[in-house]
Structure 1
Amino acid sequence: MSEGLLVTATLNTPCALNDATSDWTTRAYVGSVAVLGILASAEGLGLVDTDSTARFLAVILCMPWTLLVAAVVWLNDGFNWLLGYNFLADSPARLFEPLWTVFWPAAALANARIIAALSRSVARRPGVSPFLVPMGLLAFVSLIALLWRL
């Protein structure tokens, strides 16, 4: 009985990856986030000397999940008030780079699956432009970047 539950609860990674990269829009999205995420990780480890534009863009492209991280940072302020220890300021940077390396691929694949589902949904409607989802995503990301910089 428990073996059946274990099998159904596991994530089928090849199926999730195929679903996430099924559309040209999602392949472009995942590729962009991968390049920016790797560059941001290399920058965080001190391997390249650049500004933080790559991390900024990767964070923007992973935006709905970044809000969860922002909530954790907000909770850190509460821990600082209660315990007198600031996890972000007092912890070494090597603690956060592995978390970043896990965060951006997970967020990119989750967003790519959502984008693929939206593209399939729009493609089923007659008379709808196939560029509706890519242009909507570009407008959404541009709006978030604009609001973030204000």
Structure 2
Amino acid sequence: MSDANAELIERFYTAFQRLDAEGMNECYAADAVFSDPVFGELRGSEIGDMWHMLTQRAQGFSVAFSSVEATDDAGSANWVASYIFTQSGRPVVNRVRSRFRFRHGRIVEQRDTFDLWNWSQQALGIKGALLGWTPLLKNAIRRQARKGLDAYRAKAGRT
């Protein structure tokens, strides 16, 4: 196990626990790539803007992480975020698996996976329970997330 990269993962999630988007962003390389089931693929400054947006909007938030593993070029961790989904006011507990790639002491790739149907049931209630498994609702969730990020970036003057 690479102690330096395991420490990088731990530093990232510790900053996340403090809602410190800047501390999280310092862990990424400038040309990093991020993906998850909601936002799809983000690159470079889009990643930092996503974390800034999410940490600023966080309500009732906590995150716990575990199973940190790292080698010289790759790593992984499990994490659980608990929060209030602001659009519906509903509580969400999201269990996520992150896989990382590293270069020169920074994250160059982060791929987060979680059950989008489970998330949509919690975040959207009956609509998510009935339709969250369908491509129609999954794509609508992704479009809404992207629209929100684009609006945040435009307001910050970073489009």
**Fold match, TM over 0.5?**
no
User: Which one has the largest radius of gyration?
Assistant: 1
Q: Which has the higher helix share?
A: 1
Return the TM-score normalized by structure 2: 0.28
Bigger proportion of residues as strand: 2
TM-score by length of 1: 0.30
